[in-house]
Amino acid sequence: MKKLILAVIILFIGVNSYSQEFDLGVKGGINFSNIYGLEPLNLEYKEGIVVGVFAGIKFSDRIGLQVDALYSEQGAKFTDSGKFELTYLNVPVVLKYYLVDDQPLYIQVGPQVGILLKDDLRTVIDNTRIKAVGNDTDISAVMGMGYDFPYGIRIEGRFNLGITNVTDYQLESGRHKYISLTIGYSFL
């Protein structure tokens, strides 16, 4: 992971001299998350916060790359009783495509790696207490849209779809699906 972060930093520094824009800032917002693949548990969407930093490069009028480091509360709510709470350090790397030259509306797509920081997975099924442990990493696909306002303000909406299971519990396993809505501020 340290090598990946170092490689991204070197990429940003090296490409910065050839790029039109370098971007650095903070963002925060809300997640609406659930777990798919565990339908028998009757899970519902759960709200959680997402906060972090981002860095980006705009290579041309239409193409850019952005890397985030985000503290993200995810999981799901049980309709009965129990907890399915997961907290991650998420690192998405998204390709940004601006829909019109020199205009602020863009779409984005890319992979995301999540490192589990905290988990609380427990419930009762058929009078049996169940406690599970979350997997250390989570891989997701990210797609979304955003808009860059004047004075460094931006809004983004992303849909994340899990590729890896969030837990290896013996009965069943599930994957993340969540929507993230954020507002950010770019310093540069």
Residue (of 123, 112, 119) closest to 164 by Cα position:
112
Confidence at residue 70, expressed as pLDDT on a 0 to 100 scale: 98
159-165 contacts: CB < 8 A, separation 24 or more? 160/92, 160/112, 162/36, 162/138, 163/139, 164/135, 164/137, 164/138, 164/139, 165/37, 165/135
pTM (predicted TM-score): 0.82
Would the CA dihedral through 90, 165, 95, 47 be positive or negative? negative
The series of mean pLDDT values per 10 residues for the chain, 188 residues long, is 59 52 95 82 87 94 94 86 85 95 90 92 65 83 96 96 81 82 94
Instruction: Tell me if residue 170 falls in helix, strand or coil.
Output: coil
pLDDT at res. 93 = 98
CA distance 33 to 16: 35
In Å, how far are 51, 98, 146, 181 from 174, measured between CA atoms?
24, 34, 28, 23
Are the beta carbons of 75 and 86 closer than 8 angstroms? Answer: yes
C-alpha span between 157 and 32 (Å, rounded): 11
